[in-house]
Amino acid sequence: MLKELGLQAKEGKRRPAIRVDKDGKWYFEGAEIIRKEILSLFYASLHLDEDGYYLEIKGQRERLGVEDTVFLVQGAELVKDSEEAFVIRLNDGTQERLDLDTFCIAEGNVPYCLVKEGKFPARFLRLPFYQVAQYAQHDEDADEYFILLNGRRYPLQGGS
């Protein structure tokens, strides 16, 4: 698969030839992949199973080394159409509605959600997290923060 894309992995290599760093940058053998058509193909061919991320192209699988997540939330906006929803912008150039049921604040107070129909985790960058968190309210009786959208309460739980 790599050879067909003009990327040839070194023989006998145990580490994945393709990796994604915590900033969402893709690398092949240590060199950043910047060709948009290759990145688009990789995003479209991305899968995640219990063993981690992999690409599947023309029936061939290539495991990825991923430092944190492949997807990053780069922007968030509250929109009010027939109902309120946050629209998030991802590092692959797509936008989708934030599923607040999947929103969580993990260890180290790092916010994540699931994207792509719940198939992949995405880490929030600081600005989009603040763009969502500005709508948080505090329930003093329960001592918890939450977001209220369309009459439904979504608790925000912090990590340690």
With a cut of 70, say whether residue 107 has pLDDT above it: yes
Task: At 120, give phi and psi (nearest 5°).
Answer: -135, 145
Report, at the CATH architecture level, how domain 3-66 is classified: Roll (3.10)
Q: What is the pLDDT of residues 10-32, one digit of tens each?
A: 444 457 999 999 999 999 999 99
Domain ranges of the chain: 3-66, 71-156
Question: Does this model's pTM top 0.95?
Answer: no
Please tell me the distance from the alpha carbon of residue 45 to that of residue 54, in angstroms, as a whole number: 8
**How buried is residue 9: exposed, middle or buried, by Cβ count under 10 Å (0-12/13-18/19+)?**
middle
- The encoded tokens of residue 133 equal 């968190």
Q: For the sheet with 95-97, list strands across it.
A: 95-97, 84-90, 71-80, 120-124, 110-115, 104-106
What per-residue confidence (pLDDT) applies to 114? 97
Q: Alpha-carbon dihedral of residues 156, 48, 96, 2, nearest 10 degrees? A: 140
From 92, 10, 13, select the one nearest 46 (Cα to Cα). Answer: 92
